[in-house]
Structure 1
C-alpha cells in the first residue's frame, strides 16, 4: 500500500488530553474529568469524530494540495539560472577588424561518463578590438602633473625609465594610453625590464590595475602575470571593464590603463627600488561577456484555441525559466498567416480589460493561461483579458529552459565550445557561476502557503518581509529580517545568494547581484507600511580559521585525512544551506565554540586522536587574524565563513 502522509499526527487520546488541559485552564470549576462525567463523554465523542476527520485529511493526495495552493493564488517558484562571466581567447593577438562573439553563443562543461553536460548561453555580443599603445606616462604620489615618456608606435621607447619613483611609494602610477577603448577585452601587456624592483612577493605584488571609465578609475582583473610584479620581463593579461573610454590626459587623447602601488600593512614586503622599463607593448588576446545557464527554444506551436475564456494550454517542456528573457505568445488564424498577433505576459488578470491581449504563465506546471470570464452580481459576464478565436493557432517564442543549483559550476568548468568560432581558440569561466537555485518543491510551497495567507501581500512582520523577499528573488538561499536599531521604524533585510558552498566558497560569492537587490527593493517598497524604512544588504560575515593537529589511524593515507578534515570544517562553518549544526546554514548570531569544532574533527573518518584545535577570528576582506580564542561571538546580523583552515596530520607511532 502507498504510505499515508501524516499531516496531523494527533490521535483520540491526544485530543481528549488536550481538551482536558484546556478545561482545567479555562473552567477551573469543572473538577470532574473522569470518563463517567457527561461533559467528558461529549469531549470523547467530538474527539472520535475529529480523529476520523484527521484520518481523511491525511489521505488527501499531493495533487489536491497543489489545487488548494492554486485556490489561494500561490504559485510554486520556478528554478533560477546561474550566471558567470565567460572569457573567449583568440588564436592570435587581434589586428585589423574586430573579432565578434555573438549573443547566444553556447559553451559547456567538458563531457564525461559521470557528469551531465551543463551549457551556458552568452547574454550579449562582445568584440575583441585591436589594441595599440600610443602613450606612456608616470606620475609620482602627490604630484599634480604627469611625466611623459617618448614613445613611438612601432618603434618603442626612446629611452629606459623607472616605472615608479626611485624609492617607490604608495599611489605611484605607470599609465598606458591605448589608441581606442578595449571594452570588455583581455589586453596582454608585454613588459621588458631590468630586475631592480626587488622586495615584493612575486605571487601577490602590491599593485592594482585600473581603467579609466569617464566617471573614475575602475579595477581590472589580472589573470596572468609572468613578470612577478614588474620584477622580470614577461607579460600580464589585464581584463578591461566594459565602461572603458577615451579621455585627454597631459594633452594626449587615449584610452587609459594604469598600474599603481597599493599601501601595505607593514607586514607584506614593499618595493625597495623601482623596476626599470626598457620596452612596453599591448595586444588584445580575448574578451569577456556574461553568460547564463539557459537554453532558448525556437518558436513552437502549442495548440489551437477553443474560443472560450480561461483556457489552459500545456507547454511541451517544463519547468520554464522566467529569470532569462520574456516569453511571448502569438496567435494566428492559420499556419500560413503572416500577421501573428502578439500577447503580453502578466502576473495576474485583475487589471486586464476585455480587449487586452494578455496571458499568464505557470512556469512550474508548464501551462499558458488566458484570461477568465467572471459573472457579475447583475448577471453580466466580465472578461479579464481577451480570448483567442476558436481554431486560432497559438505559438510561444523566447521560451527558456535550464536553471537550478547544478549551474553553480566552479571556476574553470566551462571549457568547451559547442560550435567552432573562427579565430577563437579556447573559452573559460575565470570565476564560479552563482545564483542558480532549484525550483520550489511541494513541501516548501506548503510551508509558504500559510505565511502568504498571513501576510496578505503586505510586509508587516519579520516573517512577511522574509516571505515576500524569497518570492521576489528565488535565487536567494537565505533571508533574515531584523529590526534596525539605528534607524527609527526601520528593518534590515539580510539576503544570502545561492552559491556553491564548501571549500571553494569565497566572500565575493556571497554578495547579492545588483539586479536581485533592485527586484527585492521594488517588491518590499510596494508592500511595506508607510513610514517603514527598509535596508536590503548582505549579512556581516565573520571569518573563522581553525588550526588543528590530528593523528591518523594506522594504514590511513595522511593526505586524504587532511583533505577530509578540511572539507568537514568548510562544510560545518558554512553560511549556505547544507552547512552549520542543522545543515540549514550557520544560524544568524550563533557563536562558534572550540569544543564543537573539536568534536567535529574527532568524527572525521580516518582520525584517531585530535591533539590540538585552535580557533581564530579573521577578517575575510583583509585577511587579518585575531588572537586565539575558545569562543567567537557573532552579532545577530552576522554569519560565519571559513577562512584558510590549517590542518596538520601526523602518523600514529
Structure 2
C-alpha cells in the first residue's frame, strides 16, 4: 500500500470566503450586511483570492521537492523525438544533367489560419541522375530471353510475357546508369491483350537489381491497368540500385515480374513501346530545422558554467551529436582563434580534469560544464575541463524541433522553402512517423521509483522493455522474449516495431523496418545494463502477410461503394501490427488468424447485412504473391500479421 501524501491546505476560494463570514458573526456582530454588493464583502473576497493563490503555491512545495529529488538520483525528462518521413522531389521533366538537392534543404507543411507550418529538413544530400532506358528484354520463367529493343514503336507490338503468362515471366528495362533513390517514369504504349486479370490489382511487381538481389520498387501510380492501356507508371527505385549483367547485357536493370494472384493473365499484354527515365528522387527528412554556428558568449573561467541555446528542444542525434567549440586565442594574440571541440556526454562521472566534456539537456537547451567538487582532505577535484576565462564559445550546429505534432499525414509536406533549379514539386508520399512529445513531470514522477527499483540493471522482462523505450522512444511496441531452449538458450531477443501509422490503416513492410541507428542505440544501452553472459539481439518481429477475400451482402438502402471502403478500412485496422488485434494495441505475437474473426470484423461495418464467404491467404509482403487458400493462418511465437492486400466484393445495396 502506498503512503498517502496529504495536501497542506485543501481549502477553496469559496470556503475561505464562507469562513470569513462566519467569523464576522463572532467578532463583529454589528456587521449585518453580508451581500456581495457590500464593499466589505468585496475586500473579504479579494483577500480570499490572494490567500487561495498563496495556498496553491504552498501546496506545490512537495511536488517541487519531489522533482528535485528525482534530479538528484539522475532521473531526467525524456526529450522529444523528431518524426521522419521520405520526401520526394519531382522535377519539371527529365533532365540531362545531375540535379543536386543539398543536405539540410527545408520543406514544410502549408500554413493555415489555425495551424503553423511544420518544417522538415533533409538529412543528407540527394543527386538525381539523368538515367534513361536503353535496352528492353523479355525473359520467360524458363529462362528464354528475347531482345525487344529493335522493335520498339514498330508494328502491332510484342508480348510482354509468355503467350499464356506464368509466375516469374518478366519484362526487363535496362537503364544506362543506376537510378538510386530516384523517381522513375515508365511510359508504355500498349495494345489490349492481357485478358483475365483484375485491372485494379494486376498480378505484377516491379523490382530493381541491387547487390543483395532484386528489391521491390514502390509503385506510386499505374495508369496502364496491368499493361493493357497506354499510360504512365511511376516507380520509386531503392537506394541500392546497381548495374548487373542479364542475358549477356550489362545495364542497371528494372523488371516487371508476374506473381501469383487470384486472377491471372489468360493472354500476354502487348507493348508497342516502353521507355523509362528519371523525373525525381527521394531523400529522408526529419521534423527539425538546422541551426548553424550559434555563438553562446564568453567563458568566465569558473567550474559548472551554464549556457543556454537559443532554440529548444534539441533533437538528439547520436550519429551527429552536438559539438561545442571553444576558441583558443593564439599565443601572440594576433590572428583568429583556434577552435577546440568539446563533446557532449551523459554525465561527468567518468570525466577526468582534462577531458573536454559538456552535458546537454535536450529539453531545455541547457549546456553545462563540469563541476569542481571539494574532497574530504580539503582538495578539489574537477570533473571535466574548464574553458579559459575570456574564451569564445559557440555551437557548430544542432537541430531543433520534434514532437508528436510532426506525425503529419501523407502529402501534407508540400512547400519548398528555398528555390532549387528544375524542382517542380515536393511531397511526402507516406505519413511521417516516430515523433514523440517530451516527457512531462507527472510521467517522470511515475517512472522515478521504477528506475530506482531497477537500479540501472536489466534483469526482468519489464527492465529490458523500459531500457529499450528510454534508448529509442520512437519504437512504439517492444517485446522481450527470453530464449529457453535450442542453441541460443540463455539469450534475449528484443522484438521492436517503430511508430508507423500508415495511411488509412495501411502500412508497408518498409515502414516497419527499424529506424537508422535505433538498433545500435538499444544494444549500447542494454550492453551496460544486462546481466553478464546474456546474449542480446534486437530485430523486428517476423511479419506474416495476410490477405482476405470476402463476398458480402449490403443492406438495400446502403451505398455498395461506401460499404466496400468501410469494410476494407476495418480489415486493415484489425490486422495491423500497431493498432490492430482484439484490444486495438497491435496484433498479439503468435495469435493465429481465423475466418471467424473476419466475420466478426465485417459484421460491425455499417450498411453491411451479412457475410457470404471469406477466404484467407498467406501473402508475401514484398511481392504480394499469395498462397493457396488457408483454413486458418498459424503464426510462430515471434510472428505478427501484416495486411498485404484485401478484396471485398459487395452485392446488393442501393446501386
State if a TM-score over 0.5 links the two structures.
Answer: yes
Deviations, residues 229-280 of structure 1 (Å, cap 9, x unaligned)? 2212222222222222233444433222222222x15xx2212222233222
Question: 1:618: how far off?
Answer: 7.6
Aligned to 2:141: 141
Name the CA distance, whole Å, in 1 between partners of 2:490 and 2:100.
52
Name the CA distance, whole Å, in 1 between partners of 2:228 and 2:462.
56
Aligned to 2:531: 529
Aligned to 1:327: 322
Deviations, residues 365-385 of structure 1 (Å, cap 9, x unaligned)? 321011122334443322221
1:281 maps to 2:243: no
Aligned to 1:25: none
3-state SS of paired residue (2:526): helix
Structure 1 residues 558, 9: CA separation in 2 closer, same or farther (over 3 Å shift)?
A: farther
1:357 maps to 2:351: no
Does the 8 Å CA contact 1:80/1:403 hold for their aligned counterparts? yes
Structure 1 residues 466, 195: CA separation in 2 closer, same or farther (over 3 Å shift)?
A: same
Which of 190, 193, 214 aligns to 1:193? It is: 190
Moved more, 459-468 or 316-325: 316-325
Aligned to 1:49: none
Aligned to 2:128: 128
> Which residues of 2 match residues 43-62 of structure 1 at below 5 A?
60-62=61-63
Name the CA distance, whole Å, in 1 between partners of 2:608 and 2:272.
56
Where structure 2 has 5 or more consecutive residues not aligned to the other structure, the ranges are 7-56
Question: 1:75: how far off?
Answer: 2.2
Does the 8 Å CA contact 1:7/1:57 hold for their aligned counterparts? no
Name the CA distance, whole Å, in 2 between partners of 1:570 and 1:273.
32
Name the CA distance, whole Å, in 1 between partners of 2:65 and 2:373.
23
Aligned to 1:104: 104
Name the CA distance, whole Å, in 2 between partners of 1:577 and 1:270.
33
Name the CA distance, whole Å, in 1 between partners of 2:638 and 2:196.
41
Question: 1:339: how far off?
Answer: 2.6
Which of 230, 233, 240 aligns to 1:233? It is: 230
3-state SS of paired residue (2:338): coil
Does the 8 Å CA contact 1:502/1:567 hold for their aligned counterparts? no
Does the 8 Å CA contact 1:589/1:635 hold for their aligned counterparts? yes
Aligned to 1:368: 367
Aligned to 2:15: none
Where structure 1 has 5 or more consecutive residues not aligned to the other structure, the ranges are 1-5, 12-55
Structure 1 residues 288, 541: CA separation in 2 closer, same or farther (over 3 Å shift)?
A: closer
Does the 8 Å CA contact 1:436/1:499 hold for their aligned counterparts? no
Structure 1 residues 164, 505: CA separation in 2 closer, same or farther (over 3 Å shift)?
A: closer
Question: 1:87: how far off?
Answer: 0.8
1:169 maps to 2:171: no
Question: 1:359: how far off?
Answer: 0.9
Structure 1 residues 381, 600: CA separation in 2 closer, same or farther (over 3 Å shift)?
A: farther
Question: 1:159: how far off?
Answer: 9.4
Aligned to 1:292: 286
Name the CA distance, whole Å, in 1 between partners of 2:608 and 2:153.
62
Does the 8 Å CA contact 1:326/1:398 hold for their aligned counterparts? no
CA RMSD, 1 decimal: 4.4
1:211 maps to 2:208: yes
Name the CA distance, whole Å, in 2 between partners of 1:448 and 1:635.
33
Task: Work out the number of aligned pairs and report it.
Answer: 587
Structure 1 residues 285, 564: CA separation in 2 closer, same or farther (over 3 Å shift)?
A: closer
Aligned to 1:24: none
Structure 1 residues 311, 124: CA separation in 2 closer, same or farther (over 3 Å shift)?
A: same
Name the CA distance, whole Å, in 1 between partners of 2:579 and 2:67.
25
Deviations, residues 520-568 of structure 1 (Å, cap 9, x unaligned)? 123223432233233433356787989999999x9x9999999999989
1:512 maps to 2:506: no
Structure 1 residues 549, 529: CA separation in 2 closer, same or farther (over 3 Å shift)?
A: farther
1:497 maps to 2:491: no
Structure 1 residues 216, 361: CA separation in 2 closer, same or farther (over 3 Å shift)?
A: same
Question: 1:315: how far off?
Answer: 2.5
Moved more, 497-506 or 223-232: 497-506
Name the CA distance, whole Å, in 1 between partners of 2:228 and 2:560.
38
Question: 1:190: how far off?
Answer: 1.9
3-state SS of paired residue (1:434): coil
TM-score (ref. length: structure 1): 0.76
Does the 8 Å CA contact 2:312/2:401 hold for their aligned counterparts? no
Structure 1 residues 140, 104: CA separation in 2 closer, same or farther (over 3 Å shift)?
A: same
Question: 1:163: how far off?
Answer: 2.0
Name the CA distance, whole Å, in 2 between partners of 1:276 and 1:549.
37
Deviations, residues 396-422 of structure 1 (Å, cap 9, x unaligned)? 231211111211222222222122322
3-state SS of paired residue (1:297): strand
1:80 maps to 2:89: no
Aligned to 1:90: 91
1:311 maps to 2:305: yes
Name the CA distance, whole Å, in 2 between partners of 1:463 and 1:164.
54
Does the 8 Å CA contact 1:136/1:174 hold for their aligned counterparts? yes
Name the CA distance, whole Å, in 2 between partners of 1:600 and 1:180.
48
Name the CA distance, whole Å, in 2 between partners of 1:507 and 1:627.
22
3-state SS of paired residue (1:340): strand
Aligned to 1:178: 175
Does the 8 Å CA contact 2:182/2:281 hold for their aligned counterparts? yes
Question: 1:186: how far off?
Answer: 1.4
Name the CA distance, whole Å, in 2 between partners of 1:151 and 1:566.
44
Moved more, 134-143 or 479-488: 479-488
3-state SS of paired residue (2:527): helix
3-state SS of paired residue (1:107): strand
Aligned to 1:448: 447
Name the CA distance, whole Å, in 2 between partners of 1:227 and 1:536.
42
